[in-house]
Each structure stands twice: as structure tokens, then as C-alpha cells.
Copies of this chain bind each other. A is one copy, B any other.
Amino acid sequence: MSVAVKRAEKTIAVSEIFGPTIQGEGALIGKPTVFVRTGGCDYRCQRCDTLYAVLPEYKGDWKPMSATEIFAEIQRLSKQTPILVTLSGGNPAMQPLEALIDLGHEAGYTFTIETQGSIAQPWFAKLDYLTLSPKAPGMGNPWPTNWERLDRCLQYARQGEKQPAICLKIVIFDEVDYAYAKELAARYPEVPLYLQVGNHTPPHVSNTIDTAGLLERLDWLIQRVTEDRWYTVTVLPQLHVLLWGNKRGV
């Protein structure tokens, strides 16, 4: 058995595969994409909006799949037409995703990952896009950011021939989160930074979202950055939350 075949047979814990839909947030906002959400996470954020892909009690819902099986499902959903694949979680950096990226690239698909930057993988260098979203205090992650690990994510991503387009994304709930985002911007001035209004009523808190409240928070955040003359940042909502609330699979 060749090394490539062996890699493709490594199992990946998959919470859900869905789409095509659009990416609702960040640098690729509005782009058609298929999501692969892996199961398992090294974080425990109180305001997590996908606990079903994080907590061990949902483990029974996660399906172990090979890269070949996952890519077959992506091809079925995209009707064999190359599309952007978004690797999300949980923390997708916990999974052996290199073989999936290789398989997809051969067929013209592109790949982006959304990860908190706590686990660095050499295959980050193979991605087309990399979004690192370390968690500000408002997300309620009990562990502080490990800056060395975040540095390593950037370092690994930059060590290939073809480098992914890298950005940072911070979910903002309040002034403390805002201060954290400023710290991040000072630390990585060369990396584009996206600020995102957090959903204060995630699925485990409420079935419905507070649309007016989310837009008010967005308005506040825009005023906050412009008053601060912070003109190099980008401020965005989560479009999928405005469109579909806390519904899964869109």
C-alpha cells in the first residue's frame, strides 16, 4: 500500500457535511461553499454555536470517514463541479485532513479552514485559505490564548511553495474582546483582521436569534472602530445567522 493510499484511509471524525451554501462570515463572505464539519475540539467555549461538534456526549453522532469517502460526498453535493470546501469544526486541525486536500486539489476544488490556532499542522501550507480565529474572552473559553501555538500555525502555513491567503478573525461581544482584538492586531500587523459580531443567543441558549440585537451590536462595533481610527480592520456580521438563525445544515 502506498503512502498516499494509507493517508487517504485514515479516519476523520465527521459531524456533518452540507451545502452548497454560502460562507456567511469572514474573508470569504458570500462565496459558494460546501462545509465539512469535523467532530471534536480542544476548546470549551461557553458561547460556542456548534456544541454538537465539540462535546464528547455527541461523539455517537460523528461518523468516522476516510478522505476518499468525504470527497465522494463533497462531489455528490457539488454535482461534480469544483467548489470551495470549508473545513470547520469543532477544531478541524485535530483531524488528518491532508489527504482530503490533495484529493480535492487534483479535481480542481479549493480548501479553506477555520480553526482557533491552538493546533498547528504542516499541511496548513497546502490550503488555499487559512482563517485563524483565536478566542477572545467573551467566547467563554476557559484557557487563555497560547501565542506560541498561534505563531506556529502561521509559521507552518507559510513554509510551502504555495502559501494560503491567511487572515485572523475575532468574535466580539464586548469591550474586553475589543481590547483583545487590538492586542492581536498589534502582534500580527501584516495579517488582515476581521471582526465579527458574536451571536449572543447560540442554539443552546435559544431557538430563535435576536436579529435587531445583532444589528445593533454591529452598528456599535462599526462606530467603535471608526471612532478609534482603526481603518485597517474589516467589520462583518454572520450572514447565515441573519438569514437562517440557529438552523443547522445551511
Contact = CB atoms under 8 A, between A and B. Distances in A.
Contacts of A119: none
A242 B222 contact: no
A204 interface: no
Q: Secondary structure at chain A's binding surface: helix, strand, loop or mixed? A: mixed
A62 B61 CA distance: 62
Contact of A32 (B21, B83, B194, B231): B231
A78 B232 CA distance: 13
Interface string A16-48: 000111100000011110000000000000000
A234 interface: yes
A236 B243 CA distance: 11
A81 interface: yes
A82 B229 CA distance: 9
Interface string A96-125: 000000000000000000000000000000
A: contact size bracket? 20 to 34
Contact of A30 (B19, B22, B229, B235): B235
A32 B243 contact: no
A231 B82 CA distance: 8
Contacts of A19: 226
A10 to B, nearest CB: 28
Contact of A226 (B21, B29, B194, B231): B21
A200 B239 CA distance: 19
A230 interface: yes
Interface of A: 19-22, 29-32, 78-79, 81-84, 194, 211, 215, 218-219, 222, 225-226, 229-231, 233-237, 239, 242-244
